[in-house]
Amino acid sequence: MTRTLITGGAGFIGSHLAEALLSRGQHVTVIDDLSTGSLDNIRHLVGHERFRFAIETIGNEMVLDRLVSECDVIFHLAAAVGVQLIIQNPARTIETNVMGTEAVLKAALRYRAKVLVASTSEVYGKSERVPYSEGDDITLGPTSRSRWAYAASKMVDEFLALAYQREHDLPVVVFRLFNTVGPRQTGQYGMVIPRFVQQALAGQPLTVYGDGSQTRCFCNVRDAVRAIVGLSETPQAVGQVFNIGSTEEVSILEVAQRTLALTQSRSAAAGDPIRLVPYAEAYTEGFEDMLRRVPDINKIGRAIGWQPTIPLDETLQQVIEHYRS
Q: Which residues pair with 116 in a beta bridge?
A: 75, 173
Q: Is 1 exposed, middle or buried (0-12, 13-18, 19+ CB in 10 A)?
A: exposed
Catalytic residue among 132, 150, 209, 283: 150
pLDDT at 94: 86
Radius of gyration of the chain (CA): 19
pLDDT at 269: 65
Cα–Cα distance between 115 and 238 in angstroms, integer?
9
What residues does each domain of the chain span? 3-180+220-245+295-309
| Residues with pLDDT less than 70, the chain | 82-84, 268-270, 285-286
* 150 catalytic per annotation: yes
pLDDT at 105: 98
pLDDT at 145: 82
- Which H or E run includes 102? helix 90-111
pLDDT at 221: 98
Strand 51-55 vs strand 172-177: parallel, antiparallel, or unpaired?
unpaired
pLDDT at 154: 94
Exposure on the CB side of residue 129, measured as CA atoms within 13 A: 10
The CATH T-level fold of domain 3-180+220-245+295-309 is Rossmann fold (3.40.50)
